[in-house]
Chain A
């Protein structure tokens, strides 16, 4: 058993930290305040290959793996959680399922554009009445010659406003229930496809979360992803992978908050000494950092298993559950350490606290993760 990072992983961390420190972190407060999608950062990340880390070189990716990808999402999120989720949704929820389930033609057409970051990807499963109960899909796809005609809407779609390609789930055979759901690759310019209202959110406010509307949206039959009526399985497997990204995002938020807190408690003096000198501070920080490192081990384990091609659903669920709850606890306590200042937007922990909450909700709530974990345990 080897817990040490490889030379390549260390070099990668050096690169992504350097990038985050200089290009991502300085924009975080502004992106949050203005609810602005950091398009310039996406362009910079594209140039460096960050939009295609685990995609093979033959499809224009960087030829890395999921461990490196999780490290990237963690580090980016430590600077700016919005930036972290842009990369995560693009990579895990759009590029990854095309790589996994796409035909050679689909891979050749979409992966180079996604991996190079020329195109941004998104994923549409959630509907107003199909959240955790994702099987209650109301978006319908009907055959019309060589096309499918999609009708329905999706909500809370990360990257929606800026994406060029979406994986959309829709009912192809309502009588079959979950076994009648199919996945489609939908381009933003397909007739009948549009992006609807943008959500006003508590956190990750730059990530352009919108509604997707399909009104007689024409999707060529060639764009069905995987098997007809095999979409629900694809969606669930895709979310397994996505959870590694969101776990990494939560981990990054937590580590970012601790880094800010460590800096603060050394500077802030009360009762004649820095608050880091109080044992209350020391013991709490010890507990929080222990949780963070445990989260990181869970994230790396899940990513490593995915890279090895062995089952990782339970590990990904554990990583996401634990990292998300850690992010909530750490950011909440980080504000407490900062006192009144922490409650203001003068310090980044206020934003981190708001950003952390979503990690307990999207890509499977913490309750769903507990269902996955206990389901495997009790089967």
Chain B
């Protein structure tokens, strides 16, 4: 089985700084990480590797320093890493990004394509589904759990607003994974030691055969109206009690806040 995971390098901050004139992110001085949803997707791929000996490729689109997340992925255990980078891709919105990634993915053979649900710097949740549309593949978003039958069918638990859906889908298909679905493994020492001596393939415009008008700033219909940091919700309180006691707690909490 071949698996491709799309990952994104994102700034590690809940306090995102934004250039007030351009509305774009200021990345300087902010440490970068693998986007949490993508990292959970990477863990899913590596578990399928452990279980079914799957071959795992990671791909990221970004500037040259995005290579760092590919090195981290190597240290976690992936087999192949591709950096999609070209000046022509600069300024891409989700649509132009998904066109570029889809172009690269057409060159790769896979049974399962994994992306994160959304990136913490953009929060759009669009790139994964758009890739699936460009490639005309079935897609399951908001993946909470996946089982593979060892042949070609995936049984997927998908999280929706008020519960879960259980779906079956045959590969090749696209899934977008929630960060809470899989706890990412640690890098391992040998993986770290060897990471920077392994090859990261650099692919550019020349490799992907996508109409230039669909790429970069030119191919981006999105105009940023306003960008803002997402408010932080207070951590909830968790009670493990029986239903009667639970009802009592809920009522007292609602009363406390003068809701009832």
Contacts and interface: CB of A to CB of B under 8 A. Distances in A.
B196 A7 contact: yes
Contact of A49 (B68, B189, B195, B196): B189
Interface stretch (A8-16, A302-310, A350-358): A8-16
A56 to B, nearest CB: 11
Q: Which of B72, B188, B190 has the most CB of A within 10 A?
A: B190
The range of chain B's interface size is 10 to 19
Interface in A61-107: 61-64, 68, 72
Contacts of B196: 6-8, 11
B186 to A, nearest CB: 5
A49 B192 CA distance: 10
B192 A50 contact: no
A49 B191 CA distance: 9
A63 B71 contact: no
A18 B189 CA distance: 13
B193 interface: yes
A27 interface: no
Contacts, number: 57
A57 B75 CA distance: 15
Interface in A27-56: 47-50, 52-53
A8 B194 CA distance: 8
Contacts of B72: 11, 14
Contacts of B195: 8, 11
B189 A8 contact: no
Interface string B69-102: 0011001000000000000000000000000000
A96 B31 CA distance: 36
State which size class the interface on A falls in. Answer: 20 to 34
A61 B189 CA distance: 9
Contacts of B192: 8, 11-12, 15, 62, 64
Contacts of B202: none
B189 A62 contact: yes
A19 B192 CA distance: 14
A366 to B, nearest CB: 31
Interface string B172-209: 00000000000000111110111110000000000000
Contact of A15 (B68, B186, B194): B186
Contacts of A7: 68, 71, 196
A15 B193 contact: no
A72 B188 CA distance: 12
B190 A12 contact: no
A6 B195 CA distance: 12
Nearest to A48: B188
Given A7-B196, A8-B195, A8-B196, A15 B190 contact: no
A53 B193 CA distance: 9
B203 to A, nearest CB: 21
Contacts of B188: 15, 47-49, 62
B186 A64 contact: no
B193 A48 contact: no
A72 B75 CA distance: 16
Given A11-B71, A11-B75, A15-B75, A57 B190 contact: yes
B194 A63 contact: yes
Nearest to A53: B189
Interface string B42-70: 00000000000000000000000000100
A7 B67 CA distance: 11
A15 B188 CA distance: 8
Contacts of B187: 11, 14-15, 18, 48
Nearest to B31: A14
A62 B186 contact: no
A63 B71 CA distance: 17
A18 to B, nearest CB: 6
Contacts of A18: 186-187
Contacts of A50: 189
A11 B195 CA distance: 9
A64 B190 CA distance: 7
A11 B32 CA distance: 12
A48 B191 CA distance: 9
A62 B193 contact: yes
A12 B189 CA distance: 7
A66 B120 CA distance: 37
B189 A68 contact: yes
Contacts of A47: 188
Given A11-B187, A50-B189, A57-B190, 11 more contacts: A8-B192, A8-B195, A12-B192, A15-B75, A18-B186, A47-B188, A48-B186, A53-B189, A62-B188, A62-B189, A63-B193
17 contacts: A6-B196, A8-B193, A11-B75, A11-B187, A11-B192, A11-B195, A12-B189, A12-B192, A14-B72, A15-B187, A47-B188, A49-B189, A49-B190, A62-B189, A62-B190, A64-B189, A64-B193
The 5 closest A-B pairs by CB, nearest first: A49-B189, A62-B189, A15-B187, A62-B190, A48-B188
